Amino acid sequence: MNPVVKSLSVERALGPSADKFLIKQPTQEQAEEAVRTLLLWAGDDPSREGLQDTPRRVAKAYKEFYKGYQEDAAEILDRVFEEVEGYRDMVLVRDIPFYSHCEHHMVPFVGKAHIGYYPAKGVVGLSKLARVVDVYARRLQTQETMTAQIADVIDRVLAPRGVAVLIEAEHMCMSMRGVQKQGSSTMTTRYTGLFNEPAEQVRFFTMVKSPGL
Ligand SMILES: [Zn+2]
């Protein structure tokens, strides 16, 4: 095992905010060295002109791809707008685009998330839901995990009468490698509260799939 990998230690924190954990960060130099190793592994020469700056760029891109590790979805949802004028029906935000990477191959999966909830105490700013999707998308995980995480944090922080999350995505690890099936999409759902009723799931799905503006 090389020394860079050995120096990493991941420690999961206990308690409800278990999506927060501590990582001993490698240095920029170590990260760039790791990229050079992968370039060699791919069969290229990291010292050739076109690749000289690549390790630095990749290290920088990683900061962006995985910035969700620095963010807390519960904090984003924390500010609830109470004045809903008695609005009790479903709030649905659909077609939230996201870009993520699967934890098995670190290859992108790209798609859309749809989130519905029945407010109880209040509603949250609509853009907050999109930001919550982004927090989890910008981490390594599976689509299934991401779907559950989004539903669970909304359920926990907003305490609505029910949450529905539907994610549809295309996985590059299926299109570019392995079975190489292009254009297939994967759908995952998570329902809580009122959405455990099949009729509510149908209503949610119908609204998600109804023609747009
Ligand atoms: Zn994969």
| Catalytic-role residue among 105, 168, 170, 201 | 105
33 as an active site residue: the answer is: no
> 162 pLDDT exceeds 80?
yes
The lowest-confidence range among 145-159, 162-176, 196-210 is: 162-176
* CA nearest to 128, candidates 73, 83, 210: 73
Which pLDDT score is estimated for 205?
A: 96
Chain segment 58-105, per-residue pLDDT in tens: 999 999 999 999 999 999 998 767 666 678 899 999 999 999 999 999
**Residue 192 CB: number of other CB atoms within 10 A?**
18
Q: Which residue has the higher pLDDT, 190 or 23?
A: 190
Catalytic status, residue 171: yes
pLDDT at 183 over 80: no
The tally of CA atoms less than 13 A away on the side-chain side of residue 206 is 7
Per the structure block, which two tokens stand in for 138? 């910008």
Residue 7: what pLDDT? 32
Beta strands at 21-23 and 10-12: parallel, antiparallel or unpaired: antiparallel
pLDDT at position 3 = 35
- Catalytic residue list contains 104: yes
If one compares 201 and 23, the residue with the highest pLDDT of the two is 201
Residue, of 191 and 172, whose pLDDT is higher: 191
N-terminal to C-terminal alpha carbon distance within the chain: 55
Mean pLDDT of the chain: 87
Distance CA 158, CA 120 (A): 8
**Quick one: which H or E segment has residue 155?**
helix 143-158
CA of 123 from ligand 1 middle (Å) equals: 35
pLDDT band at 107 (very low <50, low <70, confident <90, very high): very high
What pLDDT is stored for residue 21 in this prediction? Answer: 57
User: Is this prediction's pTM over 0.75?
Assistant: yes
- For β-strands 162-171 and 186-191, DSSP reports them as antiparallel
Give which of 148, 144, 164 is closest to 207, Cα–Cα. 164
**Cα–ligand 1 centroid distance for 193 (angstroms):** 31
pLDDT in tens, 24-71: 789 999 999 999 999 999 999 999 999 999 999 999 999 999 999 999
Distances (CA, A) of 130 to 37, 77, 92, 96, 118: 36, 11, 12, 6, 17
Statement: residue 16 has pLDDT above 90:
no
- Catalytically annotated residue among 29, 52, 75, 103: 103
More confident residue, 164 or 122: 164
Instruction: Please answer whether residues 142 and 128 qualify as being in contact, where contact means their C-beta atoms are separated by less than 8 angstroms.
Output: no
